[in-house]
Chains A and B, each alone.
Chain A
Amino acid sequence: MSLSVQQKAPSHRLLTTDHRSIGINYLLLSLVAVTIGTILSIFMRIHIVSPMLKLPIWGVVPPEGYLALVTMHGTLMVFFVLTTAPVNGFASLVLPSQIGAERMAFPLLNAISFWLTTISLAVLLTAFFVPGGAPISGWTNYPPLSAIPAAGPGQATGMDLWLLSIGIFCLASILGAVNQLVTIISKRCPGMTLMRMPLTVWSWLVTAILILFAFSILLAAVVLLLSDRHFATSFFIPPGEVINGFAVDPHANGSPMLWLHLFWFFGHPEVYIAILPAMGLTSSLLANFTRKPVFGYRFMVVTTLLIGFFGLLVWGHHMFVSGMNPYAGTAFALTTMAIAIPSSGKVLGWMAMLWRGRDSRVHPLPTPMLFTLGFLSFFITGGLTGPILAQPVLDAYLHNTYFVVAHFHLIMAMAGVFSLFAAVYYWFPLITGRLMNERLGKWHFWLSLLGAYGTFFPMHFAGLAGMPRHYAQLGGSTSTLTSLMPLQTGISHSAFLLAATQLLFLVNLAWSARRGQPSGDNPWRATTAEWTPVTKGCIARYGPYEYRHSINSADFFQQCAERPEQE
């Protein structure tokens, strides 16, 4: 009788307060969102290379339809994939057991926040089906475009639904963050001191604090924008706004900059909300698969905290070209470059782990480790363009080009998603009691890596050549960019490869859930407590990463093992 079978979630899992089932539900929700988001992105790529092609379901995409695709793709991916899956999904799945708790601090609250998230997704998707369609102002929804219903198709009901959906999502996230914070602070088992928590738990701790700050601000911004739209206030509507020759509101005296500040005060921490759990997971997995302790545990904790702290101070670097005071731009450039220090510290730490573990590592590298290395690769590639974009002068040129698209897709989207894949492959035995297929996993990894670099790396060159983003049509007889269209065609083909590769993943999920190789108790021979059988009165006797610390002792010590080995 394997222990992971005991750890398996019960089958009646929809209306439950069991944290594992809720975690799985969150992950399934994210899977739905990521599927839709990917399909939308494929539509976008098709539209860029052949604007007149009739798409299935969609038909010929009009220019504003392209913007709707951009908006919904961004919203789905940022909120419902990169926030929901790493923060709520995996945290619900393993956070309590990693700290030796039997359940979250408030199980019911966990269920409530899951259901709020589901409602929020449903409301968002309804926007496709209302008159006017989905909103077209991008996932950042800058006013006045987002503040005035007449500003475009989709800006009436569609925009309202977007705001409603995000408002609900904010509430759900805040409740989830409260739950996680309290769980981490008060539910740790005896012996699980702060400095013995796995680095994933540290990441979730910092993430929860960031969510509390960031999403509260976004909620306020959403309230203000809704009030602008429906109660004739003008917090964000500037004076003298004219649409189609009609003055919108002669008395308006608002400031779109206020929205930008509020939104990016949320938006930048949001990036770290998405990537910090990935960083924690990377440290854990590198330790696990190189069979060496984490390089500088304390250092990793400190850099996590620093990244969280600086993450709250850099929002202005999204606004260099918005007409913000240039002196403020300089300040934000400085904080932005400062955040590169703890980030590269982490990367160097991971490199050191790889270097130090080159002899002791697991042969051959299992799929989760491959995806972690993929994360590392994308994090470095995407990270190196960060300091470039942090210069206000360079950003002025690059801001509205594909260069930025390349940057954030590599560092946030691809790094985040690869880490999510690593997490799925790694924790799959906790969900099903089975391992995922290695051969399919390796194909999935290498093709995804190829597809992702093929898709996003050339965008740097497109951006440097001046190709603007958010444009529905780049070619055409009058365009000066026609000579660059072959580049876009290549990007589109890579994107199709990337998307098609994900079918391998879906097949692997479905196949392994039923017929995968049974995993046993602790398939990765990991130390952290989620792999230890659930017992009452778990006691943490060891630090989180006790892999082969001396030649004479056992290979590894599980943190919450029943009986500590006596030497």
Chain B
Amino acid sequence: MPATFTRIPADVERKDTGIGGKPPVDRRPTGGGGGDDNWENHPNGRRGPRELLTRYRMGLFCALAGDLMFFIALVSAFFVHQNAGHFDPRDAYISDWHPLVVPPILWINTAILLLSSLTIEIARRHLFHEVDVMEEWLGLGRPAVRRASPWMIGTVILGVLFLIGQWIAWKQLASQGLFFTTTQNSHFFYLVTATHGLHLVLGIAALLFALGALFLLRRVEMRQITVDCTAWYWHTMGIFWIFLFVLLTCFQ
């Protein structure tokens, strides 16, 4: 049965034998012909049709955990600079920190990015819609691809719009006389938005790749994997952006 869409509950839970947590049988096989040594075939990790999907997702999330650390390190530069003031001999606090008012267009950009998360989630769900997947697997056309691809294209457009919005925000800041090198704070603003933008460029490349994959890949499973991983990546970038946005707006 092609269970690309069914979840197989991992129902075989090994009971604790209460003898100090050792694996129950490995010293002495149960002996006799009757024991089917069920514990040996106990699937660990998930086996079956979703194995690949789970594995790719896991890889993606591990990489994103590293990416999160990367952003945390960048953000640490923000806080270090913010608190880098010192007391001069007269006990006056000297700080070189100039709060920066983020361009209002960032609010629109944020909304666009959230909307794009929504569209790609819809695309992702289409690819996992049971009836459509079944049809695709049986070779009766590609309804899931047909339904998902417009949403994917929509996401690409929204992503590009977001990047354009970021560019406009930079222009607006520059017109206020705040360039990359002007203050501590503007270093950080440009650097962090640029880094995030670079991640989104990669995301858009992944989206385009997934869009191509939808039509080119022959295995239903692989189509699901590309779209799924792209979608989770995109969501994560959305979440990262929310963090950065809150940081840039509220923590000045």
- A residues adjacent to B (C-beta < 8 A): 105-106, 109, 174-175, 177-179, 181-182, 185-188, 190-193, 195-196, 212-213, 215-217, 219-221, 223-224, 227, 231-235, 253-255, 257-258, 261-262, 265, 298, 539, 541-543, 546, 549, 564, 566-567
Give the distance in Å from the alpha carbon of A73 to the alpha carbon of B28 in the complex.
53
B62 near A182 with CB under 8 A, answer yes
B191 near A217 with CB under 8 A, answer no
Give the distance in Å from the alpha carbon of A109 to the alpha carbon of B67 in the complex.
17
Give the distance in Å from the alpha carbon of A254 to the alpha carbon of B45 in the complex.
47
- Which of A106, A181, A191 has the most chain B CB within a 10 Å cutoff? A191
Contacts of A181 in B (CB 8 A): 58-59, 62
A213 near B69 with CB under 8 A, answer yes
Residue of A nearest to B78 (CB): A235
B66: which of A174, A196, A543 is its contact (CB, 8 Å)? Answer: A174
B59 near A182 with CB under 8 A, answer yes
A232 near B77 with CB under 8 A, answer no
A-B contacts, 27 listed (Cβ < 8 Å): A182-B55, A182-B58, A188-B45, A190-B42, A191-B40, A195-B23, A196-B23, A212-B62, A212-B65, A212-B66, A216-B67, A217-B69, A217-B70, A217-B73, A220-B69, A220-B70, A224-B191, A227-B191, A231-B181, A233-B180, A233-B191, A234-B184, A235-B77, A253-B96, A539-B40, A541-B29, A541-B40
Give the distance in Å from the alpha carbon of A224 to the alpha carbon of B66 in the complex.
17
A227 near B23 with CB under 8 A, answer no
A215 near B23 with CB under 8 A, answer no
Contacts of B181 in A (CB 8 A): 231-233
- Which of B40, B58, B77 has the most chain A CB within a 10 Å cutoff? B77
B73: which of A179, A220, A566 is its contact (CB, 8 Å)? Answer: A220
Annotate B22-46 by CB proximity to A: 1 below 8 A, 0 otherwise. Answer: 0100111101000000011111111
B59: which of A178, A223, A541 is its contact (CB, 8 Å)? Answer: A178
Give the distance in Å from the alpha carbon of A213 to the alpha carbon of B59 in the complex.
15
A186 near B81 with CB under 8 A, answer no
Give the distance in Å from the alpha carbon of A253 to the alpha carbon of B84 in the complex.
8
Confirm or deny: B6 has a beta carbon within 8 angstroms of a beta carbon on chain A: no
Give the distance in Å from the alpha carbon of A109 to the alpha carbon of B58 in the complex.
14
B73 near A216 with CB under 8 A, answer yes
Contacts of A232 in B (CB 8 A): 180-181
Confirm or deny: B51 has a beta carbon within 8 angstroms of a beta carbon on chain A: yes
Give the distance in Å from the alpha carbon of A195 to the alpha carbon of B46 in the complex.
18
B26: which of A179, A216, A541, A567 is its contact (CB, 8 Å)? Answer: A541
Please give 19 more A-B residue pairs, beta carbons under 8 A apart, in addition to A220-B74, A235-B81, A298-B21.
Answer: A105-B55, A106-B59, A182-B55, A182-B59, A185-B45, A186-B46, A188-B45, A192-B44, A193-B23, A193-B44, A212-B62, A223-B195, A232-B181, A234-B184, A235-B187, A253-B84, A254-B81, A257-B80, A539-B41
Contacts of B26 in A (CB 8 A): 196, 541-543, 546
- Min distance, Cβ B45 to any Cβ of chain A, angstroms: 4
Contacts of A175 in B (CB 8 A): 63
Give the distance in Å from the alpha carbon of A254 to the alpha carbon of B77 in the complex.
9
B187 near A186 with CB under 8 A, answer no
Give the distance in Å from the alpha carbon of A148 to the alpha carbon of B56 in the complex.
42
Sorting the interface of chain B by its residue count into under 10, 10 to 19, 20 to 34 or 35 or more gives 35 or more
Residue of B nearest to A236 (CB): B77
A543 near B23 with CB under 8 A, answer yes
- Min distance, Cβ B50 to any Cβ of chain A, angstroms: 11
Give the distance in Å from the alpha carbon of A188 to the alpha carbon of B69 in the complex.
28
Give the distance in Å from the alpha carbon of A215 to the alpha carbon of B81 in the complex.
23
Residue of A nearest to B96 (CB): A253
B76: which of A105, A196, A258 is its contact (CB, 8 Å)? Answer: A258
- Min distance, Cβ A279 to any Cβ of chain B, angstroms: 23
Residue of A nearest to B31 (CB): A566
Annotate B139-177 by CB proximity to A: 1 below 8 A, 0 otherwise. Answer: 000000000000000000000000000000000000000
B58 near A212 with CB under 8 A, answer no
B187: which of A195, A221, A227 is its contact (CB, 8 Å)? Answer: A227
B187 near A234 with CB under 8 A, answer yes
Give the distance in Å from the alpha carbon of A182 to the alpha carbon of B46 in the complex.
12
- Min distance, Cβ A91 to any Cβ of chain B, angstroms: 15
- Which of A109, A179, A234 has the most chain B CB within a 10 Å cutoff? A234
- Min distance, Cβ A506 to any Cβ of chain B, angstroms: 36
A187 near B45 with CB under 8 A, answer yes
Give the distance in Å from the alpha carbon of A546 to the alpha carbon of B22 in the complex.
13
Contacts of B191 in A (CB 8 A): 223-224, 227, 233
- Min distance, Cβ A249 to any Cβ of chain B, angstroms: 9
Contacts of A106 in B (CB 8 A): 59
Contacts of B27 in A (CB 8 A): 542, 546, 549
Give the distance in Å from the alpha carbon of A517 to the alpha carbon of B237 in the complex.
56
Contacts of A223 in B (CB 8 A): 74, 191, 195
- Min distance, Cβ B83 to any Cβ of chain A, angstroms: 10
B69 near A212 with CB under 8 A, answer yes
In the complex where A182-B58, A212-B65, A216-B66 touch, is A262 in contact with B84 (Cβ < 8 A)?
A: no
A221 near B73 with CB under 8 A, answer yes
Annotate B178-212 by CB proximity to A: 1 below 8 A, 0 otherwise. Answer: 00110010010001000100000000000000000
A178 near B66 with CB under 8 A, answer yes
In the complex where A223-B74, A255-B81, A566-B31 touch, is A178 in contact with B63 (Cβ < 8 A)?
A: yes
A186 near B58 with CB under 8 A, answer yes
- Which of B66, B69, B70, B84 has the most chain A CB within a 10 Å cutoff? B66
B184 near A216 with CB under 8 A, answer no
